[in-house]
Amino acid sequence: MGNACHYHSGADAVWQCTGCSKEYCGDCVPGSVDNYYKSTPKCVLCNQRLDNVGASNKARPFWQMAPFYFRYAFSAGPLTFSAICAAAAIAMTGLGWLSIFVLVAMLAVVIRYNLLVIEKLAGGQLQAPTFGDAQDGRSAAIFAKVIGMILVAGGGGMLLAGLGEGAVQAYSIALSLLAPAAMIVLALEQSMRAAVNPLKLLQFTLIIGWPYWLLWLSTTAVSAAPTYLLPIVADKLPPWMLLPLLAFVTSYFSIVTSAMMGYICLTRQQKLGVISQLDDAEFLEEREFERRKALADASILLREGRGEEARKALVTALRQQPDDIALNERYFRLLLAMDDKKALRELGPHLLERFVTLNQPHKAAELYLATATSQGKPPAIDKSLLRHQIAEALYRQRQFKPALTLINNLHKEDPSYTRLDSALLLLAKIYMDGFNRTDNSLKLLAYVQKKYPQSGVMQEVRQLVSILAAEQSPQPA
């Protein structure tokens, strides 16, 4: 399993900061790179550029991915490429000496496409490139580099020939063992000098570790597959089909081996210094991005003990989106976490009222209770309507005691409150359902019937009186 996010242990890391050694998931760094200035997300803690590690962090070990390599070569891009190779092989049969040029051109394209497969997979792009992606004008240059590598290898063998057959055999074995590394280095660095540098190749094998030798065994076996498969079908096919079949099969298995090389680089992406192909994260509309970014930054900063910076991030976002529920809740909980008694005293009731205004009375009730728990006492609310609304939300959440505290003396403290009939009805329900005080409930209901005979809640009052009266009447023996 890959590295987890430093702040969300259940999520894989997508970004990494080398400056403060923190790893972040997609929730910590929301949106796509296009949401950020110069497409460069930066660490909220140290402001250094973040490196994308999403693809490599999710990569499974090389040896567990065998089916993937063969499926990869069967996807649309590689199959198109193999089919074109087969068609080129058919065309070669009628061109005479011109077929040499076709063969060279085909080899150049084959090498370019396979190196592109290595490059893309190493960067984390699991979708195979199309045939058109390889037509970037670099086929001839890369083919020339490969020819140069072959000449350098051959020249080294000639120099060692004078040392005896044993030296040549040892050199041949070394060339075979380092061949995958040479192709990978050429694909990643586009440099023939690096690809023939023994120290560079040895360094590469050390970075990959023992899986490199598994890669060597796998690529050697797969590369030999056409040699064993074609004789099986040679007698069953017409002669004209053999050359295109050889071209198709050889192309297919070369892509399989390239996929192996690319994927093993993906598993060591950071150590190899490969630039990651960024995950295709969702691009966010500006307001949504600013909202998510503020929430993420505030959470990280608060956990790092930088409460004032977290508050600043939220306040900045709230100035642009004052009615956003998530931002308001995070700000309220930030004040609780910072134990800012003054801000809670001055801003708490205002924030609770905002939740009610935004049709979120249940959220206001939750935060009211959280404040009471955190501060040892509930916030002081001097607006009767707000007290009534929060008490009603608390009653629905079966938080009877705090609801009673809020509304118990409302009719005495604010006799001019225009919704006292509803408040008294709520108080009667609280006594009845929360404390089984039917006597208090009946007194309150009788008071409402007498004081507010034309009230809109009168029907509910009568129903409740009937229920309570039926409960108190003696049951027949």
Q: Is 75 left (phi over 0), alpha (psi -120 to 50) or beta?
A: beta
Number of Cβ atoms within 10 Å of the Cβ of 290: 20
Q: Domain 339-418 maps to which CATH number in 3.40.50, 1.25.40, 3.90.245, 1.10.287?
A: 1.25.40
Integer Cα distance of 14 and 51 in angstroms: 8
| Overall average pLDDT of the 244-266 stretch | 91
Mean pLDDT of 6-33: 90
Would you say residue 308 has pLDDT above 90?
yes
Each domain of the chain, given as residue ranges in start order, spans 15-58, 63-266, 339-418, 436-477
Q: Decide if 362 contacts 325 (C-beta within 8 A).
A: no
pLDDT tens for residues 134-175?
887 788 888 888 888 888 888 888 888 878 888 889 989 989
Q: Is the pLDDT of residue 237 over 70?
A: yes
Among the listed residues 347, 429, 345, 419, the one whose alpha carbon sits nearest the alpha carbon of residue 387: 419
CA atoms within 13 A on the CB side of 378: 22
pLDDT tens string 175-233: 999 999 999 999 989 899 999 999 999 999 999 999 999 999 999 999 888 888 878 87
Cβ-contact 145, 184 below 8 angstroms: no
Our CA dihedral for 423, 426, 427, 432, rounded to 10 degrees, sits at 170
Whole-number pLDDT of residue 298: 95
Read off the pLDDT of residues 364-420 as tens digits, 9 standing for 90 and up: 999 999 999 988 888 889 899 999 999 999 999 999 999 999 999 898 899 999 999
What is the rounded distance in angstroms from the CA atom of residue 407 to the CA atom of residue 427?
A: 7
Instruction: State the pLDDT confidence band at 338, using cuts at 50, 70 and 90.
Output: very high
The region that residue 38 occupies, defined by phi over 0 for left and psi between -120 and 50 for alpha, beta otherwise, is left
Is pLDDT above 60 for 477?
Answer: no
pLDDT at 279 over 60: no
Q: What is d(CA 35, CA 388) in angstroms, rounded to the nearest whole number? A: 43
Maximum alpha-carbon separation in the chain: 121
Q: What integer is the mean pLDDT of 303-315?
A: 95
pLDDT at 475 over 80: no
